[in-house]
Structure 1
Amino acid sequence: MSINGLSTQKWTQESQPANLEEILSDGSVKCHLSPRNCVIKEGRVGFCKVRANRNGRLVTLNYGKGVHNTQETIETEAVFHFSPGEKILSLGNIGCMLNCGYCHNWKTSQAKYVTDKDVYYYTPEQVIESALRHGIKVLSWTYNDPVVWHEFILDTAKLAKEAGLINLYKSAFFITEEAIDELLPVIDIFSISLKSSSSEYYRKVTTGWIEPVLEGIKKVYHAGKHVEISTLMVTDISDNEDSARTISKWILDELDPSVPLHFVRFHPDYKMANSTRTPIDRLHKAKTIAQEMGLKHVYLGNINDDEATNSYCYQCSSLLVTRYGLNAENVGLDKTGHCLKCGHYNNFITLQKTHSKKPINPKHLNISDYEKKEFHWHGDIVSIHAQVANTTNISNIIFFRRIMENKMHGEWEHISLVPKESYRFIIAKSKPQELGTEFLLPPGISSNLHEVFDRAHFPTEAIEDIGISMNDTTPKIGYKGKQNMYPQLIKMVNNDEN
């Protein structure tokens, strides 16, 4: 059995009523969530494959269904000016309103590739409970794209605000104004991926169109929300100087020079796996152009050990925040986001820091009872997701620490798990002399590790199942369809722009 070409798996069988529905006289429904305004016949699904017509009503097939919730840092979401280093709970779902040729999360964004083993089920209450239990203040709606998880986000984000939590929306923002109006009361931060300044690029690379994205960005900015913009610089397609100039000019003309802009390094994937990573010198050139045009806060993403990820005071050039990969440390900001040296406000929002949990040293435990695991960084693989599950009926603690050069180690850190809890968290390389990570797992804890190829990538395959990647460029399990999209796009996009 299938629904409009989507093989029926367990996750597709239950549905919930959907917002933004228009009932048509012939039994079809029109969905007003994305600018496609899909008209869906009975028993069929829309472009995203997760909104359907059942019995003449619009329903959502992915309510409460997504990938495993993951503890990360706010830098993962290309957000540098809201509480640097803050822990977040990242929540990704299934489906997408776009189909970008380079998608880093195609196994979940394109619903036809989703398998039941990759789907986890949550209630809004469970999400809030997990965040509070682990001392997390920010929920991040992210990965494939939150637009198609609309109803679940609205319900959960409302509860989150009632619990004193912050909501972050990381999106390509191919969304209608009606849907934005429903988001504005509950979303605090918008980190928006502006794919390009070219309408042809949008049409040919993303299958969408640029106009509603630009209007949506302006709408949330003028609503007073915290907004940051990121642009993926795809090798030989959008990593040129004209792209940097056009995007920078749009931000200056339509927003303001204090809006942070991130130029992000690309890794080959999906239908463009035969590409190469963006040359770093092109990213630096884009940053220089944006700064010379007048933007105050310009960063590079998906690179480590580079000063272009740090924050400096726009007035006196003092170092404000140091960053290495996805790790950040406030070294020059006061509690209100002003420079400690000259007092200039650098457009930072800060949250009051809570006390760190008291360290537990496992040397007082019977280490021989623990399973030991190690993972070593290699090339551009400088972060991993660790997924752990407490299979017992008692609370349990797992330990991890950083492996350094010269047989040195970082301090032990720990995560506490309640009975039957499954938890996923990121560990990212924090300094040049760091070699990897070591874990100590007590009896009753099952675990697996997943290689992360950049900050926007959610890996679904564990190295225990597929092994460690032989290269650091693109995931080991790749798209099996045609891989010739990349040279065709170079020719089409460049010809159109010329």
Structure 2
Amino acid sequence: MHEARFWKKGEGQAVRCGLCRFQCTIPVGRQGRCGVRENRDGTLYTTVYGRSISEQVDPIEKKPLYHVNPGSLSFSIATVGCNFRCLHCQNHQISQWPLSGRPPAGEILSPAEIVRRARQAGCDSIAYTYTEPTIYFEYAHDTAVLARRAGLRNLFISNGYIMPEPLAALAPYLDAANIDLKAFRDDVYRKLTGASLDGVLETLKDYRRHGIWVEVTTLVIPGRNDDDDQLRGIARFIACELGCEVPWHVTAFYPTYKLLDAPPTPADTLRRARDFGREAGLLHVYTGNVHDPEGGHTFCSGCGERLIERRGFHVVAMRLEGGCCRQCGTRLAGLFT
């Protein structure tokens, strides 16, 4: 067991967790909403420190992060547990593991060993992903500190519900994040995830205030978040509150987990979302999970030159020099080596 950070004593032996925006009050012998932070005799512990349930070398495009070392590899890890209850979770077997009442599972993998394996695999970064990295904050933080010393970048693939204080503690070591923005109506957000829209919007702005590179993903689900008002609202929020240079990934939904009654997303819906993004002034809108010949390429905002050509998750051509377009010299926003 590893003592958790960001909690306070409550009444009796209860504790108040301050890690995510749910701010659970946890009685003795119980866990928070995430299922992996447990009150033992009035002290909050994380039950997943050093326990990796998944370990994989992925193209960074799979995160998806298209403006961070394109074409590089990212060493990806996760623990069990999540603070959201997404009806369409693609990794529900591990994210919702604690709900089964089973003890935490995973390979014993120290932060130092993660960094060693990442370097051995030729990765440029470590991605904290698959479930929700916020809920294994201590493990991710300690790994990120060692990764930064070793010259590796740190990436969060997150639902965007961390509180400001822990984000501030992590920010010096966190280079980039892809944050899901799952809808643009609070009632839809609560039905899909159990969380509030405003909490995610505030967290996104917090990431940007810390200077962390952000890309936003919206899984477009027919009948839930595919109406014009929501798609336009997301596009305008990104452009006005985060910046026109922030990439927006609009991806297709396929029925999964508890959301089997919605059909797959038509390609035309994603193209409509892309049009709304461009209308709002976004410079980079990408479509994913569907066949779209132009959906994964990166174009220069200055001259329109195709700067990064992708096939699926793989970069097949790059026309950048020092992060700038070779044709007109316009700098492409993002993190490049």
Give the TM-score category using the shorter length: over 0.9
Aligned partners of 1:27 and 1:41 also within 8 Å? yes
Given the superposition, is the C-alpha separation of residues 118 and 40 from structure 1 closer, same or farther in structure 2, using an over 3 Å criterion? closer
Among 164, 169, 172, the alignment partner of 1:185 is: 172
1:75 maps onto 2:61 in alignment: yes
CA positional deviation for 1:40: 0.8
Gap runs ≥5 in structure 1: 1-14, 352-498
Aligned partners of 1:233 and 1:264 also within 8 Å? yes
Deviation readout 1:426-447 (Å, 9 max, x if unpaired):
xxxxxxxxxxxxxxxxxxxxxx
CA positional deviation for 1:244: 1.7
Structure 2 CA distance for aligned equivalents of residues 318 and 161 of structure 1: 33
Gap runs ≥5 in structure 2: none
Aligned partners of 1:195 and 1:202 also within 8 Å? yes
TM superposition score normalised by structure 1? 0.65
Instruction: Report the equivalent of 1:159.
Output: 146
Matched residue type, 1:20: F
Instruction: Report the equivalent of 1:347.
Output: 333
Among 195, 214, 217, the alignment partner of 2:204 is: 217
Structure 1 CA distance for aligned equivalents of residues 5 and 244 of structure 2: 36
Deviation readout 1:465-490 (Å, 9 max, x if unpaired):
xxxxxxxxxxxxxxxxxxxxxxxxxx
Among 308, 321, 342, the alignment partner of 2:308 is: 321
1:57 maps onto 2:33 in alignment: no
Aligned partners of 1:303 and 1:325 also within 8 Å? no
Instruction: Report the equivalent of 1:66.
Output: 52
1:227 maps onto 2:214 in alignment: yes
State the 4+ residue runs in structure 1 displaced beyond 6 angstroms: 114-118
Instruction: Report the equivalent of 1:107.
Output: 93
CA positional deviation for 1:118: 6.2
Instruction: Report the equivalent of 1:17.
Output: 3
1:28 maps onto 2:43 in alignment: no
Instruction: Report the equivalent of 2:111.
Output: 124
Question: How many pairs are equivalent?
Answer: 336
1:299 maps onto 2:286 in alignment: yes
**Larger CA Rg, structure 1 vs 2:** 1
1:138 maps onto 2:125 in alignment: yes
Instruction: Report the equivalent of 1:285.
Output: 272
Given the superposition, is the C-alpha separation of residues 114 and 229 from structure 1 closer, same or farther in structure 2, using an over 3 Å criterion? farther
Instruction: Report the equivalent of 2:32.
Output: 46
Matched residue type, 2:313: L
1:407-486 matches, within 5 Å, as none
Deviation readout 1:14-73 (Å, 9 max, x if unpaired):
x21000110123011111111111111111111111111011100011111132210001
Q: What secondary structure sits across from 1:341 in the alignment?
A: coil
Deviation readout 1:375-401 (Å, 9 max, x if unpaired):
xxxxxxxxxxxxxxxxxxxxxxxxxxx
Deviation readout 1:135-165 (Å, 9 max, x if unpaired):
1120001111101010001111001111111
CA positional deviation for 1:240: 2.5
Given the superposition, is the C-alpha separation of residues 52 and 115 from structure 1 closer, same or farther in structure 2, using an over 3 Å criterion? closer
Aligned partners of 2:8 and 2:15 also within 8 Å? yes
Aligned partners of 1:84 and 1:329 also within 8 Å? no
Among 242, 261, 267, the alignment partner of 2:229 is: 242
Instruction: Report the equivalent of 1:96.
Output: 82
Instruction: Compute the RMSD of aligned alpha carbons.
Output: 1.6
CA positional deviation for 1:114: 8.2
Matched residue type, 1:243: Q
Given the superposition, is the C-alpha separation of residues 251 and 76 from structure 1 closer, same or farther in structure 2, using an over 3 Å criterion? same
Aligned partners of 2:248 and 2:286 also within 8 Å? yes
CA positional deviation for 1:276: 2.2
Instruction: Report the equivalent of 1:415.
Output: none
TM superposition score normalised by structure 2? 0.96
Given the superposition, is the C-alpha separation of residues 126 and 156 from structure 1 closer, same or farther in structure 2, using an over 3 Å criterion? same
Most deviating of 28-37 and 301-310: 301-310
Aligned partners of 1:107 and 1:114 also within 8 Å? no
What's the % identity of the aligned pairs? 33
Q: What secondary structure sits across from 1:308 in the alignment?
A: coil
CA positional deviation for 1:210: 1.6
Among 203, 226, 230, the alignment partner of 2:190 is: 203
Structure 2 CA distance for aligned equivalents of residues 305 and 136 of structure 1: 28
Aligned partners of 2:54 and 2:77 also within 8 Å? yes
CA positional deviation for 1:91: 0.9
